[in-house]
Amino acid sequence: MDYSFSPLGDHSIIIEIGQEISEEVQNQVRTISQLLEKKQPRWLLEIIPAFTTIAVFYTPTVASYATVEAELKELLQQPEEVAASETRTVEIPVCYGGEFGPDLEFVAEHNGLTPEEVIDIHTSGSYSVHMIGFAPGFPFIGGMSEKIAAPRRDSPRLRIPERTVGIAGKQTGVYPIETPGGWQLIGRTPIRLFRPDQEVPSLLRAGDKIIFKKITESEYYAWKEEDHAANH
Amino acid sequence: MLQIIKGGLQTTVQDLGRYGYQKFGVITSGAMDPYAHRLANLLVGNDENAATFEVTLVGPTIQFERDMFIALCGGNLSPKIDGHAVDFWRPLAVKGGSTLSFGAPKAGCRCYLAVSGGISVPELMNSRSTYLRAEIGGFQGRSLKAGDRVEVNPTPAKQLASFDKALSKDTDWQVPAPRYSTAPVIRMMKGRHYELFDEESRKSAFTDFFTVSSNSDRMGYRLEGGALALEEPAELISEAVAFGSIQVPADGNPIVLLADRQTTGGYPKIGQIASVDLPLVSQLKPGDRLRFQEVTLQEAQRLWIEQEHRIQQLKISIQLKWEEWE
């Protein structure tokens, strides 16, 4: 594989793995991220993997840009040292519609469907997490059916409660924390995607497969995180 | 213990930031002016990463419940102790019961208050910085308000033994302050997408004056002026951003990303501010102006290394001053 390198300021370097989002590029991003975390070069501060790139933050007093680039080139010769990580499947229970999903009707009408059909399509999709970013634990999810795509709201809501499930264009996502935003809101999950009290604060990670599962309002209120942890 | 009598406009607990969690979408937070934060800590004998208060524009009123050393570094927000103006960029011995307040901002807009021992708040994900948006970290995940009581770690006994001497002795020394300005020239490297901008924009980026808009905060400063445009429209794939990245949304007004920036962004990045100049940017207020001057990556890294050497030297001279007091 051909990688290109360029500086992102005086404390980081971006490794560009591909020009377009593809499964192969995503796998490379994950493999190289794991390799870097395993090798922990002496100058490494942290990494931010994205769709087609990995930003590597380093300490310039330990190594200059030229040194970091040269050492990265050498390191990337041996990606096979990292075993491909297992693909996890994470189930996200969602209570659709009602006060949790005030825009479910809009999404249905926009696509000439009934709300039930929107839920069926949303829960039968095959989704994967491309990257975590934008907000803590926020997954960029690929794989939503275009049949339930819907434009962003003209004027964004000032407060979208945490754990709300929404649709924006051809994307679906879950808000981990309360945020302003223009997404169409279709439901809410009882599980937390952002867990600042835990060592790995994000429930999801790049590469995960996701299943959305419909639950009732009473199941939503009865939900306990432990149940979810026991299932996975 | 520190008794907060008035919270001020936005007083938050910060350290040098939360690193290692950006891959989970967790922003770094941390001091907007890391230089002032570090120096304030060093002046009172702390580790440079110890938690401080970042005071913004309109300062808080704080009562100290016991004797301790403090240092105020960064913007000059007219600090006073029991009504008397005090110097900044130097250690101050403060008696239990006295009160720190602030007046009109005279230079810059952020001042760091370090206390000997450091401010004691729980560590979360390796940092004590306040993550305002997620309402976690720092002091209860929020800015200080009247009635809060904030714990301070004990001042080391050896240091406290020199308290009376420090109080009586004429201590007119200060560490040098950065040249904060309301119209600074800021060194900037070309960004990853610099070449995607049209010729005029590439030129204006390094010649025009930009004004800090009122829509500016710890997350980023929106700049007005320039009207920067791409040569042709481009859909970019979101990728990491950094402290000091300058991205340009469709309206052509650049945004400088600062301490509370998101981890990733999808706008084209025209430039990246040299880390040594970030404190000068973070101290700008709405209405202030700045201009960018090109610097190469090699030069920016050289300047950074030089600054780190200077800080090490300052650290040693501060230690020597402390020994004189003992």
Chain A contact set for B25 (CB, 8 A): 132-138, 176, 194, 202
Residue B110 lies in a domain: yes
Are B192 and A48 inside 8 Å of each other by CB?
A: no
Nearest to B24 among A12, A20, A201 (CB): A201
Pair B94, B172 in one domain:
yes
Chain A contact set for B263 (CB, 8 A): 48, 133-134
Residue B11 lies in a domain: yes
Pair B258, B166 in one domain:
no
Can you give the CATH number for the domain in which B206 is found?
2.40.100.10
Query: Whole-angstrom Cα distance, residue B297 to residue B3?
Result: 45
The dihedral over CA atoms of A215, A221, A222, A224, expressed in degrees to the nearest 10, equals 90
Are A7 and B136 inside 8 Å of each other by CB?
A: no
Residue B304 lies in a domain: no
Query: Whole-angstrom Cα distance, residue B89 to residue B176?
Result: 7
The Cα of A75 is separated from the nearest Cα of chain B by a number of Å equal to 20
Task: Please give the helix or strand (H or E) that residue B14 lies within, else none.
Answer: strand B12-14
Residue B37 lies in a domain: yes
Lowest model confidence (mean pLDDT) among A7-11, A22-26, A55-59, B305-309: A22-26
Query: Whole-angstrom Cα distance, residue A223 to residue A217?
Result: 10
Report the Cα A225 to chain-centroid distance in Å.
Answer: 20
Top pLDDT among B54 and A82 is at B54
Are A55 and B262 inside 8 Å of each other by CB?
A: no
Q: What is the pLDDT of residues A152-209, one digit of tens each?
A: 888 888 889 999 999 998 889 999 999 888 899 999 999 999 999 888 999 999 889 9
Pair B155, B223 in one domain:
no
Query: Residue B325 above 90 pLDDT?
Result: no
DSSP letter assigned to residue A5? E
Domain count of the fold of chain B:
2
Pair B140, B207 in one domain:
no
Residue B303 lies in a domain: no
Question: Percent of chain A at pLDDT above 90?
Answer: 73
Task: Tell me, yes or no, if A137 comes closer than 8 A to chain B by beta carbon.
Answer: yes
Are B24 and A202 inside 8 Å of each other by CB?
A: yes
Task: Tell me, yes or no, if A63 comes closer than 8 A to chain B by beta carbon.
Answer: no
Shortest CA distance from A37: residue in chain B: B20
Pair B133, B212 in one domain:
no
Pair B173, B40 in one domain:
yes
Query: Whole-angstrom Cα distance, residue B106 to residue B77?
Result: 6
Q: Which domains does chain A have, with CATH numbers?
A: 4-81 (3.30.1360.40), 89-231 (2.40.100.10)
Pair B207, B155 in one domain:
no
Nearest to B308 among A6, A61, A65 (CB): A61
Are B23 and A47 inside 8 Å of each other by CB?
A: yes
Q: What is the pLDDT of residues B75-111, one digit of tens each?
A: 999 999 999 999 999 999 999 999 999 999 999 999 9
Residue B305 lies in a domain: no
How many CB pairs (< 8 A) connect A and B? 135
Are A48 and B238 inside 8 Å of each other by CB?
A: no
SS3 letters across A57-121? EECCCCCCHHHHHHHHHHHCCCHHHCCCCCCCEEEEEEEECCCCCCCHHHHHHHCCCCHHHHHHH
For B106, other C-beta atoms within 10 Å of its C-beta total: 10
Pair B144, B259 in one domain:
no
Residue B300 lies in a domain: no
Residue B197 lies in a domain: yes
Pair B125, B158 in one domain:
yes
Question: Domain containing B135: what range?
Answer: 2-180+310-325
Query: Whole-angstrom Cα distance, residue A45 to residue A144?
Result: 35
Are A202 and B308 inside 8 Å of each other by CB?
A: no
- The whole-number pLDDT of residue B321 equals 87
In contact, B290 and B208? CB cutoff 8 Å: no
Task: Tell me, yes or no, if A138 comes closer than 8 A to chain B by beta carbon.
Answer: yes
Distances, alpha carbon B5 to alpha carbons B73, B81, B140, B146, in Å: 21, 14, 17, 5
Pair B142, B224 in one domain:
no
Lowest model confidence (mean pLDDT) among A226-230, B16-20, B216-220: A226-230
What's the whole-number average pLDDT of chain A?
91
Task: Tell me, yes or no, if A11 comes closer than 8 A to chain B by beta carbon.
Answer: yes
Pair B14, B118 in one domain:
yes
The Cα of A201 is separated from the nearest Cα of chain B by a number of Å equal to 7
Pair B52, B97 in one domain:
yes
Number of H helices, E strands in chain A: 6, 13
Tell which of B187, B264, B272 to mutate to test the A interface (max A CBs under 10 Å): B264
Are B274 and A47 inside 8 Å of each other by CB?
A: no
Chain A contact set for B240 (CB, 8 A): 8, 12, 14, 48, 50, 53, 55
Q: What is the pLDDT of residues B153-209, one digit of tens each?
A: 999 998 888 888 777 765 667 898 999 999 999 999 999 999 999 999 999 999 999
